[in-house]
Structure 1
Amino acid sequence: MDPHRPDPDELLRQVQEEEARTRRAKLKIFFGAAPGVGKTYAMLAEAQERRREGLDVVVGVVETHGREETAALLEGLEVLPRRELPYSGLFLPEFDLDAALRRHPALILMDELAHTNVKGSRHDKRWQDVMELLDAGIDVHTTLNVQHMESLRDVVAQITGVVVRENVPDTILERADEVELVDLPPDDLLVRLKEGKVYLPDQARHAKDRFFRKGNLLALRELALRHTAESVDAQMRRYMASEGIRKTWAAGDRLLVCIGPDELSGRLIRGTRRLAGALGARWTALYVETPRHFRYSEADRARLEEHLRLAEKLGGETAVIEGGGAAAEDILAYARSRNITKIVLGKPSRPRWMDLLLGSPVDDLVRASGDIDVYVITGEAGQASVPPSLARRLTSPLRNYLLSALVVGLASGAAGLIFHRTELADIVMVYLLGIVLVATRFGRGPSLLASLLSVAAFDFLFVPPYLTFAVGDFRHIGTFGVMLLVGVVIGNLTERIRAQARLARSREQRTRALYQLGQALAQGGGSTAMVGSAIQNVATQFQSHAVVLLPDAAGRLQAPDHQLAFPLNDQERGVAQWVFDHGEPAGLGTVTLPGARAAYLPLKGAAGVIGVMGVLPDSAPQWEEPDQRQLLDAFANQTALALERALLAEQGAADRRRADEERLRNALLSSVSHDLRTPLGVITGAVSMALDTPGLSEAGRRELLQSAQEESQRLHRLVCNLLDITRLEAGSLELRKDWIPLEEIIGSALTRQELAAEAPRVRVLLPEDLPVAPLDGVLMEQVLLNLLDNALKYSPPGSPVDIKAWASGKSLTLSVTDHGPGIAEGEEERIFEKLARGKGAEGRPGAGLGLAICRGIVTAHGGRIQATNHPHGGAQFLVTLPLGDPPPVLPPEAVP
């Protein structure tokens, strides 16, 4: 197979990205170092060219700042009218996003990308308007100054002494399909400023004194050039990847230093930093994790982690890759994928004979580097690195060496049994079989011993003259050499296979750990459960205690309770708060606040830092090795994404709940206001007429007072329903159960004044053996009263309403049936919701609370209520209540 064959998955990803880039709207940024360099002029000039080509070009926002030559370029271009928004007693013109979306041109011009919109606009920033235009499929041309880049805010403030408040995320520049640098030398810009072509005269003098100083402009110009170069470099690398170009294009220097656990790596890092500074180039420290990584001592691994931290501290990038073959191939593959132009290596320090025997990675890299320069340096003067000794390489338990000698003895015995019936070549195969067995089971050192002993035993026992080490036929010398060489090669190959198997197991364990964490987070439910899952998995994987801290409304970190979470004192909380505020790791094993007991990592989501994860090791930290540190970072990143998703879901649920509550509150107020106004109006009118009408007969006065009484009962009923629904919503409903006959509850309900006039229409059909039930008599009477009121309300005048009850098993069922229009299809469940009223309820009094209260009370009793249509017409409500255990039996003396 061609080792340089492109990865199919990588090709598929590149094709998909290219297709997405082709389909999406195009963003072009005219980029400059400062105001006045000509960005708007260049944008308008290109817009005029595109208009002449027949493209539909519209001006969304263009600020000419009184420059006549810039304003002249607006001629012939359609300018969208702006809308006026109130601000501090004034009306300010602002970009009309909705009008632009309705107009939907092919290209729209949006000047000053970092502009902050007037309060009342859909978005706070103009770049958000631009993103919506792009999402709608409209190409955008815009302008931007380097001082408005979010990542450069601190740098610009340090250079100019001016804190720029209007910033644009760096991702916008990365999203741009084209970045055009509009450049002007500082001297020419200062001349334009003096001539009033940048600001008005008063503004120009103020700007020249503070911002537009030549040193500031030089520094800003360099920043603009560098950012433009980075953008072009990213485009170039995308093109090289899409075209399958494996050569390095030295358009700009990029350095790569190869490091390991030896002391020389620290000096290589510092030397590379000086070289990169002299060339003005970016650089990366690379460590290739090979099977040898698992044979490093704890000191070596700690030194390797220290080297990686040193590279980050000196401003370089760090990368740890898993070696899949020869180290030189892995290094060159990484270098070509990042368009590296120079590779820095340390001089080899092991003996020349080992390079001849095992190969030299430096020589392999130099020969295969092609158009990449390779620097072999020693770094700073100092103590030379001590390479691993041969004894250290061959270190193995004494037991393994003894067993290897035993295997050679057994092979000699087996060879002796077949010596007179076979050839010497077969004897050699027996010894090689023993060497393979030793190499497979015991490693390189014992296999080398087995090879030497096998050659000696073969010469002593099976080569004439026998039982001596003398060799009568010198042709056997070649056999000895081949036998020894094959044994050494087999030992090295089997040792490499064993090391690769260990590396594969380590990778599999890391993959399984991430899979288990992802599975636990996916099944965790809410944020609290996810925090517990993350703490559990981190504690298990890294033999430690962990804690996840989330901010409260004031931005102060709080730790949810968990049995594996460790307590934090004020000092530890201070470290965690620093990590949350700055978004950088700190604490144990880092260069920031290393005196802390635990390591603290920021949990970064898409919207920023959402919390902090703290890890307190039980003994020595398990994440000092690069692969384990990467795994811990992956745990933190995966936890952050899952937590952010859960927190957003909870926030969305809370917002929906608040919206529902607000909607319910408004509907309730609207309904209650109407239902309160009607009885109050009737009561007020009746009482006023009874008091103020002279000569009113006693019968008339009685009729008015009776009408007022009926409306007051209705009002009382409404207020009781409101109180009941409030108690149900608050969860403060308390049941006072007692063993009560259902006949008693029905009789009490029918004697209520609310039903006194309609009681004759109610027919009660109850069996004689109906058992008593554990009920709250007052609440169940309220349920029956609401059901009867509902049935009487929807039944034709004079038609009966039936009450039935029966017992079956351990439940008691109460039925209320009317002869009205019944329940519309699909409304059987909805009518039990608050403020829900059935079809045909128009013109009938009621707030839609009665059935909701019934369901709440019945559910509190452990029962259920359902609505159906009776086979013979009308609606039927069934209330099923549990009977529970039999009622207690009173002693004979307690019976009256």
Structure 2
Amino acid sequence: MPRVKSPVERLSPGQKMVLSALACVLVAIVAAPLREVLDLANMVMLFLLTVLVVAVSLGRNPAILASVLGVLLFDVFFVPPHFSLAVSNLQYLITFAVMLATALITGHLTATLKEQAAEAERRERRTHALYEIASKLAGALNEAQVREIVAPFVTAELSGRCALWLAERDFSGDAAVEGFSPAIADLVMASGLRRVDHDAGHALYLPLKAPMRVRGVLLVQTPDRLPEADLAFVEALASLVAIAVERLHYVEVAQRSEVDMATERLRSSILSALSHDLRTPLTVLIGLADSISLAVPELPSVAQDKLDELREQTRRLAGLVGNLLEMARLNAGSVTLRQEWQSLEEVVGSSLKLVGDALGRHRLRVELPRDLPLLRFDAVLIERVLCNLLENAAKYSPADGEIRVSAQVAGDFVELTVSDQGPGFPEPLSGDLFDMFVRGNGESTTPGAGLGLAICRAIVDAHGGRLRVANHPDGGARVLVSLPRGEPPLIEPEVA
């Protein structure tokens, strides 16, 4: 709360000067009957004491007036000839000079000490006020509470109003402060420097500079122009508000991350449980379909076609369940890489053999340089990546389209590219394509659950590589898998 002013502090400068003159006159009236009792040196002490009292209570300018007026009254009432400015002895002029100098110096030093004491008291009060609001801001739970804490504080300490505009927030609620300018707030946000809006009176815009970034703008509007000491006080307030807003931001980020992690763990657990429980009946279904197709005598053609379709859909469902289980294992971090130095050509060849039926009538083009270095990777997992990419290329390419597999050395990586002649990825390309259950075209009739790229991304990241997608200028999609080269071991030549 602001300090209550004393009755003397409420007086105007003119009233203080009048009181100073009355004090000197009162001392002269009281001391006049004592002229025959006290000598002049003691009379001088009375007027010096008056100057000291005036300086302590009323300030510097009234003390100067009391010094001059005290010398004049001493001369008129106590130095012969009385009731005249003339002096009978020139030595009194030295007395007047010493008295005036002593009074002026005493009044000046006393007033200076009083001002310093008042300034120290004001700084201590402001420091205590900042400490209290810092304690309140540390307990704020949201941005609305920050506003509720800052607004009454500015009113109590500066007799003004304030508005708080936060970055990426709606500031319509701050328009209650007349003259609030979003344009100036944007300039302050961009420059990080305080600004004064002269069109809106004494409106001061201060950036909320937090340790990481500028979090917003604090507008303080006061009846009068703020002195330099109050500017430092307001800037300290803006720093406290900025720290509180940034703390709330990171608390919100942490809470959101914790919720996302808990959601992801729950989803992975559910997928893992469902996938594990579904694999056994699906395996049984595939086995039964295979055994029925081998039955003697052979089934009619219509029944055989339906049986083939049943077996195909069951295998597709089994593949989907396998992808779900693999994704759950990768997210849980329970996969241990069995990395060995081996040739990329062998993994590409085995992957092509595994997906031979899925490629159908597509034309396959493989371009692998002969001088590719050995790479250290888990062959089973990288084979899974290539199979997923080849199956996706076959799904989205025309029936007689070309699927191209190529590789090249790119700096510290070996880049493997799988491209097709399909419609390509939707523009603009984003990282959401690598999330689970996200497909390039959500309304596509092409079968799939949106897990292929997510699994590939997780496997490649586990190897310290990069997975990127792009569209070919002539049409079609490209998926680029970058695996780190490393330092393969030296192979000693065999002795003939």
Taking structure 1 as the reference length, the TM-score comes to 0.31
Aligned residue among 809, 814, 820 for 2:416: 814
1:706 offset after TM fit, Å?
6.9
The yes-or-no answer on 1:765 pairing with 2:372 is no
The yes-or-no answer on 1:889 pairing with 2:487 is no
1:824 offset after TM fit, Å?
2.4
C-alpha separation in 1, matches of 2:492 and 2:287: 57
1:740 offset after TM fit, Å?
1.7
The yes-or-no answer on 1:328 pairing with 2:328 is no
User: Relative to structure 1, is the Cα distance of residues 810 and 717 closer, same or farther in structure 2, using a 3 angstrom cutoff?
Assistant: same
User: Relative to structure 1, is the Cα distance of residues 475 and 514 closer, same or farther in structure 2, using a 3 angstrom cutoff?
Assistant: same
Aligned residue among 711, 714, 718 for 2:320: 718
C-alpha separation in 1, matches of 2:244 and 2:472: 56
User: Relative to structure 1, is the Cα distance of residues 486 and 789 closer, same or farther in structure 2, using a 3 angstrom cutoff?
Assistant: same
The secondary structure found in structure 2 opposite 1:495 is helix
User: Relative to structure 1, is the Cα distance of residues 641 and 729 closer, same or farther in structure 2, using a 3 angstrom cutoff?
Assistant: same
The secondary structure found in structure 2 opposite 1:805 is strand
Aligned residue among 437, 440, 460 for 1:835: 437
Post-superposition CA distance 1:619-652 (Å, at most 9, x none):
xxxxxxxxxxxxxxxx999999986776566445
The yes-or-no answer on 1:876 pairing with 2:478 is yes
1:782 offset after TM fit, Å?
0.7
Do the aligned partners of 1:682 and 1:708 also contact (CA within 8 Å) in 2?
A: no
C-alpha separation in 2, matches of 1:850 and 1:799: 21
Structure 2 counterparts to residues 307-318 of structure 1, below 5 A? none
Do the aligned partners of 1:828 and 1:866 also contact (CA within 8 Å) in 2?
A: no
Post-superposition CA distance 1:201-247 (Å, at most 9, x none):
xxxxxxxxxxxxxxxxxxxxxxxxxxxxxxxxxxxxxxxxxxxxxxx
1:702 offset after TM fit, Å?
9.1
Structure 2 counterparts to residues 846-885 of structure 1, below 5 A? 846-884=448-486
Do the aligned partners of 2:363 and 2:402 also contact (CA within 8 Å) in 1?
A: yes
Match of 2:53 in 1: 358
**Letter aligned with residue 490 of structure 2:** V
User: Relative to structure 1, is the Cα distance of residues 753 and 827 closer, same or farther in structure 2, using a 3 angstrom cutoff?
Assistant: closer
C-alpha separation in 2, matches of 1:799 and 1:835: 26
User: Relative to structure 1, is the Cα distance of residues 887 and 514 closer, same or farther in structure 2, using a 3 angstrom cutoff?
Assistant: farther
**Letter aligned with residue 409 of structure 2:** A
Do the aligned partners of 1:816 and 1:878 also contact (CA within 8 Å) in 2?
A: yes
Post-superposition CA distance 1:338-378 (Å, at most 9, x none):
xxxxxxxxxxxxxx9979952699x99xxxxxxxxxxxxxx
Do the aligned partners of 2:415 and 2:482 also contact (CA within 8 Å) in 1?
A: yes
Match of 2:385 in 1: 783
1:473 offset after TM fit, Å?
2.4
Structure 2 counterparts to residues 403-422 of structure 1, below 5 A? none
The yes-or-no answer on 1:485 pairing with 2:103 is yes
Post-superposition CA distance 1:306-341 (Å, at most 9, x none):
xxxxxxxxxxxxx6x457xx73356899xxxxxxxx
C-alpha separation in 2, matches of 1:697 and 1:863: 50
Do the aligned partners of 1:822 and 1:875 also contact (CA within 8 Å) in 2?
A: yes
The secondary structure found in structure 1 opposite 2:7 is helix
**Letter aligned with residue 327 of structure 1:** S
Structure 2 counterparts to residues 443-482 of structure 1, below 5 A? 473-482=91-100
Aligned residue among 844, 848, 852 for 2:446: 844
Do the aligned partners of 2:464 and 2:484 also contact (CA within 8 Å) in 1?
A: yes
**Letter aligned with residue 494 of structure 1:** T
The secondary structure found in structure 2 opposite 1:857 is helix
Structure 2 counterparts to residues 258-407 of structure 1, below 5 A? 321-322=2-3, 327-329=6-8, 357-358=52-53
Do the aligned partners of 1:518 and 1:638 also contact (CA within 8 Å) in 2?
A: no
Do the aligned partners of 1:829 and 1:867 also contact (CA within 8 Å) in 2?
A: no
User: Relative to structure 1, is the Cα distance of residues 709 and 719 closer, same or farther in structure 2, using a 3 angstrom cutoff?
Assistant: same
C-alpha separation in 2, matches of 1:842 and 1:490: 90
The yes-or-no answer on 1:737 pairing with 2:336 is no
1:735 offset after TM fit, Å?
2.5
User: Relative to structure 1, is the Cα distance of residues 332 and 861 closer, same or farther in structure 2, using a 3 angstrom cutoff?
Assistant: farther
Tell me the C-alpha RMSD between the 2 structures: 5.3
Do the aligned partners of 1:737 and 1:774 also contact (CA within 8 Å) in 2?
A: yes
User: Relative to structure 1, is the Cα distance of residues 873 and 682 closer, same or farther in structure 2, using a 3 angstrom cutoff?
Assistant: farther
Post-superposition CA distance 1:648-698 (Å, at most 9, x none):
6644554566678889999x79x99xx99x97898488458548x773269
The secondary structure found in structure 2 opposite 1:879 is strand
Structure 2 counterparts to residues 12-161 of structure 1, below 5 A? none
The secondary structure found in structure 2 opposite 1:867 is strand
Do the aligned partners of 2:359 and 2:391 also contact (CA within 8 Å) in 1?
A: no
User: Relative to structure 1, is the Cα distance of residues 759 and 810 closer, same or farther in structure 2, using a 3 angstrom cutoff?
Assistant: farther
C-alpha separation in 1, matches of 2:433 and 2:335: 22
User: Relative to structure 1, is the Cα distance of residues 491 and 762 closer, same or farther in structure 2, using a 3 angstrom cutoff?
Assistant: same
1:746 offset after TM fit, Å?
0.3
C-alpha separation in 1, matches of 2:139 and 2:488: 49
Aligned residue among 826, 834, 858 for 2:428: 826
C-alpha separation in 1, matches of 2:246 and 2:468: 40
C-alpha separation in 1, matches of 2:469 and 2:394: 16
C-alpha separation in 2, matches of 1:356 and 1:482: 10
Unaligned runs of 5+ in 1: 1-318, 334-351, 365-470, 523-634
Do the aligned partners of 1:805 and 1:813 also contact (CA within 8 Å) in 2?
A: yes
Structure 2 counterparts to residues 490-639 of structure 1, below 5 A? 490-503=108-121, 506=124
1:506 offset after TM fit, Å?
4.7
The secondary structure found in structure 2 opposite 1:751 is helix
**Letter aligned with residue 478 of structure 1:** F
Unaligned runs of 5+ in 2: 13-45, 59-88, 141-238
Match of 1:727 in 2: 329
C-alpha separation in 2, matches of 1:809 and 1:652: 38
Match of 2:71 in 1: none
Do the aligned partners of 1:811 and 1:880 also contact (CA within 8 Å) in 2?
A: yes
User: Relative to structure 1, is the Cα distance of residues 882 and 479 closer, same or farther in structure 2, using a 3 angstrom cutoff?
Assistant: same
Relative contact order, higher structure (CA 8 A, sep 6+): 2
C-alpha separation in 2, matches of 1:762 and 1:637: 63
1:859 offset after TM fit, Å?
1.8
1:784 offset after TM fit, Å?
0.4
C-alpha separation in 1, matches of 2:474 and 2:304: 41
C-alpha separation in 1, matches of 2:346 and 2:437: 30
**Letter aligned with residue 458 of structure 2:** G
Count residues with an aligned counterpart: 332
Match of 1:246 in 2: none
1:484 offset after TM fit, Å?
2.0
1:749 offset after TM fit, Å?
0.9
Do the aligned partners of 2:424 and 2:477 also contact (CA within 8 Å) in 1?
A: yes
Match of 2:227 in 1: none
Post-superposition CA distance 1:63-89 (Å, at most 9, x none):
xxxxxxxxxxxxxxxxxxxxxxxxxxx
**Letter aligned with residue 390 of structure 2:** L
The secondary structure found in structure 2 opposite 1:814 is strand
1:850 offset after TM fit, Å?
0.7
The secondary structure found in structure 2 opposite 1:807 is strand
Aligned residue among 774, 798, 806 for 2:376: 774
C-alpha separation in 2, matches of 1:687 and 1:646: 57
1:496 offset after TM fit, Å?
2.6
Do the aligned partners of 1:795 and 1:818 also contact (CA within 8 Å) in 2?
A: yes
User: Relative to structure 1, is the Cα distance of residues 488 and 756 closer, same or farther in structure 2, using a 3 angstrom cutoff?
Assistant: closer
Aligned residue among 392, 403, 406 for 1:801: 403
Post-superposition CA distance 1:830-867 (Å, at most 9, x none):
33221112228633322110111111111222222222
Do the aligned partners of 2:358 and 2:394 also contact (CA within 8 Å) in 1?
A: no
The secondary structure found in structure 1 opposite 2:91 is coil
**Letter aligned with residue 6 of structure 2:** A
User: Relative to structure 1, is the Cα distance of residues 332 and 650 closer, same or farther in structure 2, using a 3 angstrom cutoff?
Assistant: farther
